[in-house]
């Protein structure tokens, strides 16, 4: 079954860092640069579009969060994220002021 960008966009949600922490522990959190559309990245993952994903990863626009960034999120009690689940991963973007 193919997932469309429009379908995935309806599943984008807002959550706090505490709720995402368990997914981080199992290696499931993927950070997406705010310049990319979260639903589009999700579709590329669902389609296993390796070429596009490799380009994003090599440019630093998609990847696992660094230890430094995780530490910063842990210190910020009310840190919020936009997220979408593309099993087994949770794609996240830091909530930017004015978003939502």
Q: Do 42 and 84 meet the contact criterion of CB atoms below 8 Å apart?
A: yes
Which H or E element spans position 24? helix 17-25
pLDDT 10s digits, 81-91:
999 999 999 99
The number of folded domains in the chain is 1
Mean confidence (pLDDT) of the chain: 92
User: By residue range, what is the domain housing residue 72?
Assistant: 5-94
67 within some domain: yes
pLDDT 10s digits, 33-78:
999 999 999 999 999 999 999 999 999 999 999 999 999 999 987 8
99 within some domain: no
100 within some domain: no
35 within some domain: yes
Closest to 33 (Cα-Cα) out of 67, 11, 68, 59: 59
Which pLDDT value is given to residue 97? 64
pLDDT 10s digits, 4-40:
899 999 999 999 999 998 888 888 999 999 999 999 9
Which pLDDT value is given to residue 99? 55
22 within some domain: yes
Residues contacting residue 14 through CB under 8 Å, at least 6 positions apart: 80, 81, 82, 83, 95, 100
31 within some domain: yes
Provide the phi-psi class of 63: left if phi over 0, else alpha when psi is between -120 and 50, else beta: left
17 within some domain: yes
**Percent of the chain scoring above 70 in pLDDT:** 95
């Amino acid at each position: 079954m193919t997932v469309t960008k429009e379908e995935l966009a309806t599943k984008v949600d807002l959550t706090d860092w505490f709720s995402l922490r368990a997914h981080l522990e199992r290696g499931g959190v993927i950070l997406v640069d705010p310049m990319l559309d979260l639903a589009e990245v999700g579709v590329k993952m669902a389609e296993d579009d390796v070429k596009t994903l490799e380009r994003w990863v090599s440019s630093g626009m998609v990847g696992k969060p660094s230890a430094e960034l995780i530490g910063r999120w842990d210190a910020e009690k009310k840190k919020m994220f936009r997220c979408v689940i593309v099993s087994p991963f949770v794609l996240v973007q830091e909530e930017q002021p004015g978003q939502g």
